[in-house]
């Protein structure tokens, strides 16, 4: 159905992509710097604050009495330090999964210029007895005492949030910051401080297709290196692409970045919850506190600077900006699209019915959607425990129930509901090895890739191998043998499999089944959005369809058979068997 000669159009975009990639690399932005020494921050005082809070409020579930009392304690400290204090309540999720009303406390040091700098620390405790979970709040209180004696250029807000489960408190903060009249210059989320680095201490990943500002990242990283030793564990370009393609993080910066706020996370445990036995020290508390204070001063003293979230890929000392990544992916998606459009025109001239096979392909995605919906319904009925958003697996109380429900419903959908729908639509028993089915699958995959490109170009980049390879190896005219066709399909699936493996091992639970159950629970809870659910269903459906088509091997069209008789096949008149003298002799 596809014209093999048109595959030559793949060459020119590849050359254009190489040229564009070479000329679009930019230098990494410089860090914001300050010459003011942060000597006023005391690690001993911060550690003493950790000890005091842990003794008075050892268990602080969000919205509980101890959490509220801790919030009032922080409110009084802010007022004593001369900050303008305001409080509000927000609907959050408690550690047991129920809804709760939690107190959010904000202390502000006014400044003459526009652009508020926000420092956020979680107050509630998801696990009783964890001293490390209080290090961010202790650092926040030390900043409060220092800001009361400083002149600042921009307003600085210190925010004590409650509701770290499923990022509910941070989502409420994002809504409040977006509704404020003053623009936000930067948001620094404090996690674990003062302990040895379990993961890279600066986290830029988001729950959306963008990362934290590269300049904001370099500012905090350089401030940390000036105070203590820290390894350089910056992920490679491929790892960054995978993280951008599946944007899920359990850190508090995730929902803030997704809503377009210039946020970043500073935490020695990364976006993970610290171990219960993690013990902060005064020396490390002072180093991390001084690094934070240096960063805040540098951001406050800088002139006009844009620290907004951005799409980018870092490679060595250069950065590929988001517009270049988007252009490169589109250039790779256009040739398969042109090939498919030509194939559709040929199918129309040959009166091939492609529409029914589009339905056949889409029905392969239906069981996955039904499985996701079944898990969500089971959660609403109280049969399955699901978080309301991204949550560290170490805090997830769910079991294998989400995976079991999804698997059972998806299997029933594939082997019971889908055959019934195919029969009702008149597609049952049709030969999927014909020319219409591969073209329809390629069309659905191309449309899905272009729609993904609009929302998240990194996710579309992961689809490029399948979009390029599958139309060729599955086409009825160009399809190789069965083994080669299956191999081509698997090659196209590799980036998607790598992406799935990265998501399942990003926050390991110890075994594949538990990680898969956590992933299904996260997908069904709606915390990653409707588009992610549709993307997962359509991509898995197209993958199944490609494997089903590849198993047929090469399709032989009767019209391609070698002609062994002259005239119409049914002609048996004089001369059909030969023996007629040549007319040339006359």
DSSP code string of 445-508: HHHHHHHHHHH-HHHHHHHHHHHHHHHHHH-TTT---HHHHHHHHHHHHHHHHHHHHHHHHHS-
pLDDT tens track for 482-540: 888 899 999 999 999 999 888 888 887 777 888 888 889 888 876 678 899 999 999 99
Question: Scanning the structure block, which residue is given the tokens 């509901």?
Answer: 417
Q: Which residues of 191-323 form beta strands (DSSP E)? A: 202-203, 263-266, 312-315, 318-321
- Work out the percent of the chain whose per-residue pLDDT is above 70: 88
If 0-12 CB within 10 Å is exposed, 13-18 middle and 19+ buried, where does residue 29 land? middle
pLDDT recorded at residue 586: 46
Element (H, E) at 108: strand 99-109
Question: Scanning the structure block, which residue is given the tokens 């890279």?
Answer: 200
Q: Report angle CA 45, 50, 52 to the nearest 5 degrees.
A: 90
pLDDT recorded at residue 434: 62
Integer distance in angstroms from the first to the last C-alpha of the chain?
45
Per-residue pLDDT, averaged over 120-144, amounts to: 91
- Token pair recorded at residue 64: 């509980």
Neighbours of 380 (CB within 10 A): 10
> DSSP class of residue 59?
-
Q: Look over the chain and give the mean of its residue pLDDT values, rounded to a whole number.
A: 86
Largest Cα span, the chain: 120
Domain 34-315, architecture per CATH: 3-Layer(aba) Sandwich (3.40)
Q: Which residues of 277-303 are buried (b: 16+ CB within 10 A; e: fewer)?
A: ebebebebbbbbbbbbbbbbbbbbebe
Neighbours of 326 (CB within 10 A): 18
Distance, in Å, from the CA atom of 157 to the CA atom of 143, rounded to the nearest integer, reads 10
Q: Bigger pLDDT: 40 or 541?
A: 541
Distance, in Å, from the CA atom of 473 to the CA atom of 491, rounded to the nearest integer, reads 11
- 580 pLDDT exceeds 60? no
3-state SS, 372-401, equals: HHHHHHHHHCCCCCCCCCCCCHHHCCCCCH
CB 365 within 8 A of CB 418: no
Alpha helices in 246-365 (DSSP H): 253-258, 282-301, 322-349, 355-363
Please report, for the chain, the start and end positions of each structural domain, with discontinuous segments joined by +.
34-315, 354-557
Neighbours of 393 (CB within 10 A): 21
Q: Report angle CA 459, 546, 451 to the nearest 5 degrees.
A: 30
Q: Which of 185-194, 519-528, 556-565 has the lowest mean pLDDT?
A: 556-565
Predicted confidence band of residue 568 (pLDDT cuts 50, 70, 90): low
Helices and strands (H, E) in the chain, number of each type? 19, 10
Distance, in Å, from the CA atom of 440 to the CA atom of 432, rounded to the nearest integer, reads 11
Instruction: Tell me if the pTM is above 0.75.
Output: yes
pLDDT recorded at residue 584: 47
If 0-12 CB within 10 Å is exposed, 13-18 middle and 19+ buried, where does residue 3 land? middle
Distance, in Å, from the CA atom of 262 to the CA atom of 220, rounded to the nearest integer, reads 13
- 389 pLDDT exceeds 80? no
CB 395 within 8 A of CB 564: no
pLDDT recorded at residue 98: 80
Distance of CA 64 to the CA centre of its chain: 32
């Amino acid at each position: 159905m596809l014209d093999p000669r048109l595959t030559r159009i793949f060459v020119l975009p590849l050359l254009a992509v190489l040229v564009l990639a070479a000329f679009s690399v930019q230098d990494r932005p410089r860090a914001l710097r300050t010459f003011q020494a942060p000597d006023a921050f005391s690690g001993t005082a911060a550690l003493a604050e950790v000890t005091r809070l842990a003794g008075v409020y050892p268990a602080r579930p969000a919205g509980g009495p101890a959490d509220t009392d801790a919030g009032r304690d922080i409110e009084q400290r802010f007022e004593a330090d001369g900050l303008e204090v305001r409080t509000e309540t927000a609907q959050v999720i408690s550690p047991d999964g129920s809804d709760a009303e939690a107190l959010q406390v904000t202390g502000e040091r006014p400044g003459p210029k526009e652009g508020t700098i926000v420092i956020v620390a979680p107050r509630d405790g998801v696990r009783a007895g964890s001293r490390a979970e209080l290090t961010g709040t202790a650092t926040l209180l030390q900043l409060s005492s220092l800001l009361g004696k400083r002149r600042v250029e921009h307003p600085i807000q210190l925010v004590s949030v409650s509701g770290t489960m499923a990022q509910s408190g941070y989502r409420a903060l994002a809504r409040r910051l977006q509704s404020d009249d003053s623009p936000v210059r930067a948001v620094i989320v404090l996690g674990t401080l003062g302990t040895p680095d379990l993961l890279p201490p600066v986290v830029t990943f988001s729950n959306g297709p963008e990362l934290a500002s590269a300049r904001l990242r370099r500012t905090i990283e350089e401030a940390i290196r000036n105070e203590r030793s820290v390894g350089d564990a910056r992920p490679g370009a491929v790892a960054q692409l995978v993280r951008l393609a599946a944007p899920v993080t359990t850190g508090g910066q995730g929902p803030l970045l997704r809503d377009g706020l210039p946020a970043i996370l500073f935490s020695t445990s990364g976006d993970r919850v610290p171990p219960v036995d993690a013990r902060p020290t005064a020396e490390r508390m002072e180093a991390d506190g001084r690094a934070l204070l240096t960063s805040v001063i540098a951001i406050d003293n800088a002139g006009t600077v844009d620290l907004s979230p951005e799409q980018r890929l870092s490679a060595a000392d250069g950065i590929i900006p988001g517009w270049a990544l988007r252009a490169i992916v589109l250039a790779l998606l256009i040739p398969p699209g042109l090939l498919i459009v030509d194939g559709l025109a040929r199918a129309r001239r040959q009166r091939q019915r492609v529409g029914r096979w589009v339905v056949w392909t889409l029905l392969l995605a239906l069981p996955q959607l039904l499985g996701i919906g079944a898990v969500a319904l089971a959660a609403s009925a109280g049969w399955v425990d699901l978080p309301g958003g991204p949550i560290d697996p170490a805090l997830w109380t769910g079991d294998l129930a989400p995976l079991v429900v999804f698997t059972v419903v998806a299997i029933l959908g594939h082997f019971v509901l889908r055959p019934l729908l195919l029969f009702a639509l008149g597609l049952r028993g049709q030969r999927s090895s014909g020319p219409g089915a591969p073209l329809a699958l390629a069309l659905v995959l191309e449309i899905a890739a272009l729609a993904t490109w609009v929302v998240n170009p990194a996710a579309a980049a992961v689809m490029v191998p399948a979009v390029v390879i599958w139309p060729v190896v599955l086409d009825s005219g160009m399809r190789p043998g069965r083994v080669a066709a299956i191999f081509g399909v698997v090659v196209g699936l590799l980036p998607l499999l790598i992406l799935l493996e990265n998501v399942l091992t990003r926050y390991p639970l110890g075994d594949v089944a538990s990680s898969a159950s956590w992933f299904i629970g996260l997908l069904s809870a709606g915390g990653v959005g409707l588009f992610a659910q549709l993307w997962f269903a359509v991509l898995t459906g197209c993958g199944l369809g490609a494997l089903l088509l590849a198993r047929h091997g090469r399709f032989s069209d009767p019209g391609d058979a070698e002609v062994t008789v002259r005239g119409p096949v049914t002609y048996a008149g004089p001369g059909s068997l030969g023996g007629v003298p040549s007319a040339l002799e006359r």
